[in-house]
């Protein structure tokens, strides 16, 4: 069990097969059925295309190899089985090697709408469809390489970049603003909330993103909006660490949310 979590990831057998009880398949079935309904007109085309490629089962939790076989074919990525929480070095190392960490447990019925730990539904349904997109996949690998060699202080800044893109990113499209962030796409509440009148939606600027505090346990008060996924690819190829230095010099923006005792701004691997 990872530190700070009640969940225990299920281990594969010698052939790589992970056995889940019927009760956990039922949780997957309920989650994917209701989420398909709410993302229909708000998810970006790239995500919907990736979801079609993955062809995830609706009646059971997919095996990791089913997902990996599609990702390898499309972008060279795969999913890697991990415990509920992993060290930051492990997280960044996996991403840098095109392996997306996936904890092999699923939330309990009493946490259907929100949990702090990333379960298999969040990882597979929320993130893996986007990893079929070359722009998104390259950004994620570049992020892993930077994070692995970064200092602890710099990782805190980089965590904000991941949070406001991979987890909670929005983008413009010909049809209007759409969702590409897995933290939104795997959450029924956040999917409905992010386009309401409550949050602020700001044009994406990497230095602004690096300066923006966040909390992991609330609906996001701010979302950053890309002009398109090509912009994410361009970010991957700019001097991100120079942007981090600029953000340090300018300082953080004032939080737009109340403080929470012992909130860890670097708690990225627990939500990735």
> Known binder of ligand: residue 200?
no
Q: End-to-end alpha-carbon separation of the chain, Å?
A: 17
| pLDDT greater at residue 106 or residue 115 | 106
83-92, 138-147, 173-182, 215-224: segment of lowest average pLDDT:
83-92
d(CA 174, CA 22): 42
Whole-number pLDDT of residue 269: 41
Determine which one of 122, 123, 187, 190 is catalytic.
122
Confidence band, pLDDT 50/70/90 cuts, at residue 265: very low
Domain 22-250 superfamily per CATH? Aromatic amino acid hydroxylase (1.10.800.10)
Q: What is the pLDDT of residues 112-150, one digit of tens each?
A: 988 888 999 999 999 999 999 999 999 999 999 999 999
Mean pLDDT of 41-54: 98
Is 187 assigned a catalytic role? Answer: no
Whole-number pLDDT of residue 270: 39
Q: Which two tokens stand for residue 164?
A: 């406001």
d(CA 261, CA 258): 10
Q: Of 161, 126, 140, whose CA–CA distance to 50 is shortest?
A: 126
Read off φ and ψ for residue 224, nearest 5 degrees. -105, 135
Q: Tell me: pLDDT of 235 over 60.
A: yes
Is 96 assigned a catalytic role? Answer: no
Q: What is the pLDDT of residues 199-208, one digit of tens each?
A: 999 999 999 9
Is 11 assigned a catalytic role? Answer: no
Is 127 assigned a catalytic role? Answer: yes
Q: What does the domain layout of the chain look like in residue ranges?
A: 22-250
> Known binder of ligand: residue 49?
no
Whole-number pLDDT of residue 115: 82
> Known binder of ligand: residue 122?
yes
Q: Of 211, 196, 92, 96, whose CA–CA distance to 157 is shortest?
A: 211
- Is residue 127 within 8 Å of residue 100, measured between CB atoms? yes
- Average pLDDT, rounded, for the chain: 93
């Amino acid at each position: 069990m990872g530190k700070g979590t009640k969940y225990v990831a299920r281990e594969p057998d010698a052939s790589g097969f992970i056995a889940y009880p019927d009760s956990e398949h039922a949780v997957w079935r309920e989650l994917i059925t209701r989420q398909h309904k709410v993302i229909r007109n708000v998810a970006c085309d790239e995500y919907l295309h990736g979801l079609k490629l993955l062809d995830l089962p609706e009646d059971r939790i997919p095996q990791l190899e089913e997902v990996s076989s599609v990702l390898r074919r499309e972008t060279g990525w795969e999913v890697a089985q991990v415990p509920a929480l992993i060290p930051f070095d492990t997280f960044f190392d996996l991403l840098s090697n095109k392996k997306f960490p996936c904890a092999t447990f699923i939330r309990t019925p009493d946490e259907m709408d929100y949990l702090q730990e990333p379960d298999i539904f969040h990882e597979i349904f929320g993130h893996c469809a986007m990893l079929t997109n070359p722009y998104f996949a390259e950004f994620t690998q570049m992020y892993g390489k930077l994070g692995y060699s970064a200092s602890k202080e710099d990782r805190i800044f980089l965590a904000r970049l991941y949070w406001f893109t991979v987890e909670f990113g929005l983008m413009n499209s010909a049809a209007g603003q759409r969702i590409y962030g897995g933290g939104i796409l795997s959450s029924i509440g956040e999917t409905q909330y992010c386009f309401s009148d409550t949050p602020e939606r700001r044009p994406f600027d990497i230095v602004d993103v690096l300066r923006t505090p966040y909390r992991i346990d609330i609906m996001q008060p701010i979302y950053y909006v890309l002009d398109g996924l090509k912009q994410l690819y361009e970010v991957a190829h700019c001097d991100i660490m120079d942007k981090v230095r600029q953000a340090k010099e300018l300082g953080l923006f004032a939080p737009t949310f109340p403080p929470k005792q012992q909130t860890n701004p670097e708690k990225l691997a627990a939500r990735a």
